[in-house]
């Protein structure tokens, strides 16, 4: 159960951009850059910087797209490279347009906020935070270095402070949104974990009765359209009260968990195992012939009888088996298996019963 929770925590740090979404975003970026390029060219206002930068960016995006399809390259690495292209273009474009020989007015700076939004969208939170700080520092120092060559110190400071304040607000707001998302994700992970606890028997670490019933209903064993071929095995430890009375409850618990572990090893990975109650376990096995079911039951019976738990030997189980074709509902199949278990007990225990 712990690993389940850890898994959720790992996801909190991961970027939520799937490879498919990543490729969609790349297409949007390519369409966006091409459109702006076409507009700039047709209006005759394209700067020498953009005339070189647009095709370079487009080729880089196309390369990222191809890499994301053909290589097994870590997607975080692709996200980072793509972010580097976008942030590199936006920051250098804004600085170039602020330089003296390049004209009086530019709206390149208005796009700079995207650097922070994209960082939090593409990168893991742990990487996005330092990345935004680096981008912020480069932006401020870069613009200061460019502006100071043509403006007075106080004018430069005014512009740079303006950019810095706007960008800090961007970063703060995004960080707040991310913190809220982490909080919500953690609450959801916790709720999931608690729900899973509710379906697992903490002593034996297998499904409890509630968990079994949940899986039964999810498998929709009884529905007409997909009537399943299955068998139910009810496995009950013989004279378990004596184990408790002789060795105490703690050892009794140990016997229960060892038997559960043995059952887990004997059954097929596709079989369903759970603790139905007290000293009773249940196995649901799908699409097996009666012969295979009997072999499974015999493996369980023999396997348990060979167990040695804290020097205790001779522990046995009785097993009642019923098949899906013997009744109309899962409930009735269960009742038949229970009746056969009772018969096995009456017949002396350490016995398997699969018919009346
Ligand atoms: N240690 C321990 N004992 C349990 C637990 N749940 C049920 N039991 C014990 O299981 C025993 C079941 O006893 P009975 O129903 O008389 O069955 P039995 O002694 O196994 O006899 P048969 O089933 O007829 O062979 C009782 O002593 C319960 O206290 C548990 O979680 N831990």
Q: In which domain, by residue range, is 115 found?
A: 2-195
Inter-residue contact 173 to 124 (CB < 8 Å): no
Cβ 238 under 6 angstroms from ligand 1: yes
Residue at 62 is within a domain: yes
Boundary (domain end) residue, out of 127, 160, 195: 195
Q: Which atom of ligand 1 is nearest to the CA of 236?
A: 23
Asked whether residue 200 is assigned to any structural domain, the reply reads no
239 CB within 6 A, ligand 1 = yes
Average pLDDT of the chain is 88
Q: Contact at 8 Å (CB) between 201 and 207?
A: yes
Domain boundary among 195, 230, 262: 195
Instruction: State which of 141, 172, 195 marks the end of a domain.
Output: 195
Q: Is residue 201 part of a domain?
A: no
| Residue 213 sits in the same domain as residue 116 | no
Say yes or no: 213 and 191 in one domain.
Answer: no
280-284, 289-293, 304-308, 328-332: lowest mean pLDDT where? 328-332
Contact partners, residue 98, CB within 8 Å, separation at least 6: 106, 108, 109, 143, 146, 147
Same domain membership, residue 231 and residue 191 = no
Judged against a pLDDT cut of 80, whether residue 138 lies above it is answered with: yes
DSSP string of 11-43? Answer: HHHS----HHHHHHHHHHHHHHHHHHHHHHHHH
Q: Are residues 218 and 246 in the same domain?
A: yes
Ligand 1 neighbourhood includes 278 CB (under 6 angstroms): yes
What is the 8-class DSSP label of residue 8? H
Active site residues: 279
* 214 and 187 within one domain: no
- Does 199 have pLDDT greater than 80? yes
Is there a contact between 47 and 103 (Cβ–Cβ < 8 Å)?
yes
Same domain, 62 and 115: yes
Tell me if 245 CB under 6 Å of ligand 1. no
Say whether both 181 and 43 belong to one domain: yes
- 101 has pLDDT over 80: no
User: Considering the chain, what percentage of its residues have pLDDT values greater than 70?
Assistant: 91
Q: Is residue 203 part of a domain?
A: no
Token pair recorded at residue 355 = 């018919």
| CB of residue 249 inside a 6 A radius of ligand 1 | yes
Q: What is the pLDDT of residue 224?
A: 64
Task: Residue 322: give its domain's CATH number.
Answer: 3.30.70.270
Residue to probe by mutation, ligand 1, list 202, 240, 250, 346, most atoms within 8 Å of CB: 240
Atom in ligand 1 nearest the alpha carbon of residue 318: 25
Q: How many CA atoms lie within 13 A of 207 on its CB side?
A: 17
pLDDT at 8 (0 to 100): 40
Range from 126-130, 131-135, 304-308 carrying the lowest mean pLDDT: 126-130
Q: What is the pLDDT of residue 100?
A: 63
Do 310 and 174 fall within a single domain? no
For the sheet containing 317-323, what is the strand order?
272-277, 280-286, 230-237, 317-323, 352-353
Do 264 and 161 fall into the same domain?
Answer: no
pLDDT in tens, 87-97: 999 999 888 88
Rounded-to-integer distance, Cα 155 and Cα 157, Å: 5
pLDDT, position 6: 39
Amino acid 11: pLDDT: 42
pLDDT tens for each residue of 59-79 = 999 999 999 998 877 778 888
Tally of structural domains, the chain: 2
Separation of 43 CA from ligand 1 center, angstroms?
87
**Helical ranges in 273-329 per DSSP H:** 290-305
320 lines ligand 1 (CB under 6 A): no
Kindly report, residue by residue over 12-23, the tens digit of the pLDDT: 444 567 888 889
Give yes or no: residues 36 and 160 share one domain: yes
Beta strands 317-323 and 280-286 are: unpaired
Please tell me the distance from the alpha carbon of residue 1 to that of residue 336, in angstroms, as a whole number: 34
Length in residues, the chain? 356
Whole-number pLDDT of residue 168: 93
Q: How far apart are CA 255 and CA 204, in angstroms?
A: 10
Which of the two residues, 122 and 135, has the higher pLDDT score? Answer: 135
Do the beta carbons of residue 99 and residue 146 sit within 8 Å?
yes
Tokens at 342, concatenated: 């009772």
Asked if residue 241 lies in contact with residue 174, where contact means CB atoms within 8 angstroms, the answer is no
Task: Read off the pLDDT band of 110 (50, 70, 90).
Answer: confident
Q: What is the pLDDT of residues 225-284, one digit of tens each?
A: 556 789 999 999 999 999 999 999 999 999 999 999 999 999 998 899 999 999 999 999
For ligand 1, the distance from its centroid to the CA atom of residue 2, given in whole angstroms, is: 29
Q: For residue range 3-58, list pLDDT tens digits in order.
A: 333 344 444 444 567 888 889 999 999 999 999 999 989 988 788 888 999 999 99
The interface predicted TM-score of the complex, written ipTM, equals 0.97
- Per the domain annotation, does 202 fall within a domain? no
Euclidean distance between CA atoms 7 and 9, whole angstroms: 5
If one compares 286 and 2, the residue with the highest pLDDT of the two is 286
Cα separation, 228 vs 232, whole angstroms: 12
Name which residue sits closest to atom 14 of ligand 1, judged by CA: 241
Give the pLDDT mean for 281-309.
96
Q: Whose CA is nearest to atom 15 of ligand 1?
A: 241
Cα 278 to Cα 8: distance, rounded to the nearest angstrom: 32
CA 180, CA 120: separation in Å to the nearest integer?
A: 13
Q: Each residue of 168-195: pLDDT tens digit?
A: 998 998 888 888 888 888 999 898 888 8
Q: What is the pLDDT of residue 18?
A: 82
């Amino acid at each position: 159960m712990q690993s389940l929770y850890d898994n959720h925590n790992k996801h909190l740090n991961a970027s939520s951009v799937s490879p498919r979404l990543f490729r969609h975003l790349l297409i949007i970026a390519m369409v966006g850059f091409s459109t702006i390029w076409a507009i700039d060219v047709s209006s005759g206002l394209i700067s020498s910087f953009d005339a070189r930068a647009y095709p370079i960016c487009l080729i880089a995006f196309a390369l990222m797209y191809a890499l994301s399809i053909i290589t097994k390259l870590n997607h975080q690495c692709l996200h980072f490279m793509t972010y580097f292209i976008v942030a590199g273009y936006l920051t250098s474009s804004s600085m170039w347009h602020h330089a003296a020989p390049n004209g009086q007015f530019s709206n390149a700076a208005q796009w700079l906020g995207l650097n922070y939004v994209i960082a939090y969208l593409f990168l893991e939170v742990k990487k996005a935070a330092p990345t935004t700080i680096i981008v912020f520092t480069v932006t401020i120092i870069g613009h200061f270095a460019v502006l100071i060559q043509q403006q007075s110190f106080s004018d430069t400071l005014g512009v740079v402070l303006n950019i810095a304040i706007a960008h800090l607000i961007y970063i703060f707001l995004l960080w707040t949104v991310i913190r809220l998302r982490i909080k919500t994700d953690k609450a959801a992970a916790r709720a999931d974990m608690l729900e899973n606890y509710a379906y697992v028997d903490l002593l034996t670490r297998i499904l409890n009765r509630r968990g079994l019933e949940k899986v039964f209903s999810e498998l929709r064993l009884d529905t007409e359209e997909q009537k399943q071929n299955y068998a139910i095995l009810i496995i009950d430890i013989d004279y378990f009260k004596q184990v408790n009375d002789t060795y105490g409850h703690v050892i009794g618990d140990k016997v229960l968990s060892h038997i559960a572990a043995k059952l887990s090893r004997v059954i097929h990975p596709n079989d369903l195992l759970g603790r139905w109650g007290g000293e009773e376990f249940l196995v649901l096995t799908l699409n097996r012939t009666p012969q295979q079911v009997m072999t499974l039951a015999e493996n369980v019976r023999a396997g348990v009888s060979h167990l040695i738990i804290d020097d205790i030997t001779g522990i046995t189980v009785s097993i009642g088996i019923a098949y899906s074709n013997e009744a109309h509902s899962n409930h009735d199949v269960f009742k038949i298996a229970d009746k056969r278990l009772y018969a096995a007990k009456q017949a002396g225990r350490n016995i398997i019963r699969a018919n009346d």
